[in-house]
Chains A and B, each alone.
Chain A
């Protein structure tokens, strides 16, 4: 690209960028002004109370609900994939695509439920040791813990079953889900087309994470000022953001030097 072309491209994109910047400033300013004028900072206490109520009364039951709903959804999906595999002649592409789609769906749901359960267990801890002051709350707390472990076990088993079924349609894949280096070994068994697909998916995930982290960092910075939520949430988001960016940049530098000779 010539210097003029670079300048023109920047000039073309600049107005939209400035507009987004201006809108963000106006929204930020309005939020700050409103919080000062209408005393939104006084809401901080009630938000904290809502959080504690959610954590001690709702989160444990949500974990129980997830522990029940996930197998109810995933097991039939897995069974139908297995049934299709039994009827598959090894040639019909539509059937094999359908098997892959069903197995991916089951893995996706079980993985998402596991992530959600980590949030819910943290939320149920948010009541602190005061939770144990009441018998009823203590029981609910332990019900939540049991549900949390149930979700973990379910996620592991569902993923193991799905991966084992996927291995039947892909005999070149050897890794076991119980192997600590499962992801690395699975990747090593992938061929060039699969690695390109993984790369494309990973890039999409990288850009999505960057966008979410940008939005969260701004929102949490405003919340720290208005609702007095402290800096810990911002620290966690920024830590994820830095790790995401740094790993991407480090790997990009490595690949630009070594080309496709490294996996």
Chain B
């Protein structure tokens, strides 16, 4: 299973750039970039913080996907 996310979509809804999103979540711009690219799986604390900033639940942003499905995508 691979952790995927819709952070870029929710960030667009909030109309903020990665720098601003990082500031709102208390992390760096690079970390937001890594999460969006799927190169970093955030801690539970950070996932909950991101969800809170976006005003949605964690499951709406982060979801698990089968490995094969992920590779096809």
Contact = CB atoms under 8 A, between A and B. Distances in A.
Interface of A: 90-91, 93, 96, 100, 169-172, 190-194
Contacts of A96: 29-30, 33
Contacts of B17: 90-91
A170 B43 contact: no
B65 interface: no
B35 to A, nearest CB: 8
A193 B43 CA distance: 9
Main secondary structure of the interface of B (DSSP, over half): helix
Nearest to B34: A193
Contacts of A90: 17-19, 29
Contact of B27 (A91, A93, A100, A191): A191
Interface of B: 17-19, 22-23, 26-31, 33-35, 37, 40, 42-43, 45-46
A170 B40 CA distance: 18
A169 B34 CA distance: 15
Given A90-B17, A91-B18, A171-B19, A192 B43 contact: yes
Contacts of B27: 191-193
A190 B46 CA distance: 14
Nearest to B35: A193
Given A100-B30, A191-B27, 16 more contacts: A91-B17, A91-B18, A93-B18, A170-B28, A171-B19, A172-B28, A190-B28, A191-B31, A191-B46, A192-B31, A193-B27, A193-B34, A193-B40, A194-B28, A194-B30, A194-B31
15 contacts: A90-B17, A90-B18, A93-B33, A169-B29, A170-B29, A172-B22, A172-B23, A191-B26, A191-B27, A191-B31, A191-B46, A192-B31, A192-B43, A193-B35, A194-B31
A216 to B, nearest CB: 36
Contacts of A170: 28-30
A96 B31 CA distance: 12
A194 B27 CA distance: 9
A91 B37 CA distance: 13
A74 B25 CA distance: 34
Contacts of B46: 191-192
B37 to A, nearest CB: 8
A163 B34 CA distance: 21
Residue picked from A91, A169, A170, A193, most chain B C-beta under 10 Å: A193
A172 B19 CA distance: 10
Listed residue (B31, B40, B42) with the most chain A CB atoms within 10 angstroms of its CB: B31
Given A90-B17, A90-B19, A171-B19, A191 B33 contact: no
Q: Which of B19, B23, B37 has the most CB of A within 10 A?
A: B19
